[in-house]
Amino acid sequence: MPHIHVTCAIIERNGHVLATQRSSTMKLPLKWEFPGGKIEPEEASKACLQREIREELSLEIRVCDELPAVTHQYPDFLITLYPFVCSTDSQRFQLQEHAQALWLKPGALHSLDWAEADLPVLAAYQRRLENGWQRQKICHSRLS
């Protein structure tokens, strides 16, 4: 059974988080997820994440913090997600693969139909917010 390693971005901007919906032709069709992609051999996870977000959304991000990795068993593959909290200076994006994307308040994220592997990531992120976690100072500076 294939085991894939994937990065995902919890992208924050002005109190909102970007959620993306998988297209009807992708595995897990129309499920919501944090955007990201497969880590290439010899590729660092943060570099992978920035590359994937650029390719999928035409969006530049700043990686701020790492959340615990999550491994989930789907019927036909095993996935390990490496989630990162990120920020961006732009609310504009251009969808290349996904059906749609939404900027939502963190409290509204739970209302979406998430891919199962993303649920523990969402829970970890919301726990951090509830505990008063603040982004690193580097996330407050503008992208260069």
Domain residues for 124?
Answer: 3-140
CATH number at residue 9: 3.90.79.10
CA atoms within 13 A on the CB side of 52: 22
Q: What percent of the chain has pLDDT over 90?
A: 82
* pTM confidence score: 0.91
pLDDT at 31 over 80: yes
pLDDT at 130 over 90: no
Query: How far is the C-alpha of 37 from the C-alpha of 30, rounded, in Å?
Result: 16
Q: What's the whole-number mean pLDDT along residues 27-43?
A: 95
Number of domains the chain is built from:
1
Query: How far is the C-alpha of 55 from the C-alpha of 122, rounded, in Å?
Result: 23
- CA terminus-to-terminus distance, the chain: 41
pLDDT in tens, 40-63: 999 999 999 999 999 999 999 999
